[in-house]
Amino acid sequence: MNHQTGGRRRGRRNGHGQRLAVIWGALLLMVPPGLASAAELDYRLGVSLQYSDNIALSETDEISETILIPSAAFVYTQEGERLDLQAAGSLEHRSYLDNSFSSEFRSQLALKADVAILPQALTWTLQDYLATLPIDAQDPARPDNVQTTNLFLTGPTWIVRPWERTRLQLEARYANTYAETTDEFNSDRLSFAVRGFHQTSPLATWSWHVEFYDVNTDDSIATVYDYERRDIYGRYERNLPRWGMAAEAGITRVRPEGQGWDEEPHVVVEASWTPNDSFRANAALSRRVSDAAFDIIRNAPTVGDFDLDHAIPALQINEPTAQLFVENRANLRMTNRGRGNTLTVNAFYREQEYLEDAFLDQSSHGASVVFNRQVRARVAIGAYVRAEQRRYESVSRRDRDFEGGVNWTWWWLRNVAVSAGVSHMRRDSNAPGRDYTDNRATVSLIYRRR
């Protein structure tokens, strides 16, 4: 990929930081007086010391390193007549004490806010997502191969209710995608949508969706094209106390600049099952047109599932580019909680066929298991394993990634904990020079607001 640097990028990065500050400041000013009780905040502050015996994730040039990591994580919700806000995320600063790499920030952040201009009729949406992604996804995520990406989205939604169970929704959105290093990801996007919803019963809803996108990318990047996109699909949802399902079917049409229209199917099937208060299962199958911006939204931390105590990095890595791809995907997630134990199992399959650059075509499948147990009132232990196999079709390359670890946490005081953990990470590849192993040990001091 072409990774250019220059004053324009530095200027855009500064602009993004100022924009985030303005967004947060504006949202705070919008909170109505007297509604502080509607806000909920949970956060964690910590400092960790980590040792790695192969920080560069290299097959031959292994470098040991000690890393100092101050960190913060939070979830926040605000509900009121004028503002509904959900935010979740984590931020850490990594200082490499042996100077193998420069210090860096790593972050994950998701912010969603709806501001009511006319109650139940007109709202304004603000969304912002920060994510740390690789610069080159075919290389390991070592410190010099990661970057901060940002997706910002805003616009109005107009709601009309012609009948009691029917709702029409008109949306206009502006979105901007930005990456610190990879210019292929940068874009400006305008979109318009018309949606209709009809509730056939208290438990079932039919809807139809027509979406229009106009995407402008960096003109200096020869491998990325401006494009127009049209989506038309219907959706059915049914939710019962113990299970739910949703299905979508339609078509997507895409026209890259200077080319003809390409048409792809849009099919999504989702199901959830909650037989009791302890167990929950979710499954999904889909074939649709997607891109890295959608991946950032889909994988962003949420208030519901962002676990402050056991944040484990995912192995799934996406190409940081504005190019579209056809995605075939299957997911299964099961969670069981009870008697001090939490067990989470994930499995997935994913195939990506890029519309413009077949060199990026890839497929992957993998699974993970995470287990945590409260062994005493103040002591918890945990373990996890993750495995993924990825194939790059154009070069017949196959990578097998494995990661596993165990951790121990002792709540010394009600709000203060000490934790320790060890982990092992490995890649086996049929490409020369791509294998590596990395072993890490971490000790942490944690403060959590309770």
Domains, the chain, with CATH or none: 7-29+74-305+319-358 (2.40.160)
Beta bridge partners of 71: 46, 92
Q: Which of 85, 74, 71 is nearest to 125 (CA)?
A: 85
Helix, strand, coil tally for the chain in percent (to 5): 10, 60, 30
The number of angstroms, rounded, from the C-alpha of 423 to the middle of its chain's C-alpha atoms is: 23
Q: Nearest to residue 350, comparing CAs of 331, 360, 364, 367?
A: 364
Q: What is the pLDDT along the chain (450 residues), one digit of tens a residue?
A: 333 333 333 334 444 544 554 555 555 555 554 444 478 888 889 999 999 999 999 999 999 999 999 999 899 999 888 899 999 988 999 999 999 999 999 988 999 999 999 988 999 999 999 998 889 888 888 999 999 999 999 999 999 999 989 999 999 999 999 999 989 999 999 999 999 999 999 999 999 999 999 999 986 676 788 999 999 999 999 999 999 999 999 999 999 988 899 999 999 999 999 999 999 999 999 999 999 999 899 888 887 655 545 444 454 556 788 999 999 999 999 999 988 899 999 999 999 999 988 888 999 999 999 999 999 989 999 999 999 999 998 889 999 999 999 999 999 999 999 999 999 999 999 999 899 999 999 999 999 886
Q: Where are the alpha helices (DSSP H) in 85-128?
A: none
| Identity of the residue numbered 361 | D
pTM for the structure as a whole? 0.87
CA distance 339 to 171: 45
DSSP H/E element including 378 = none
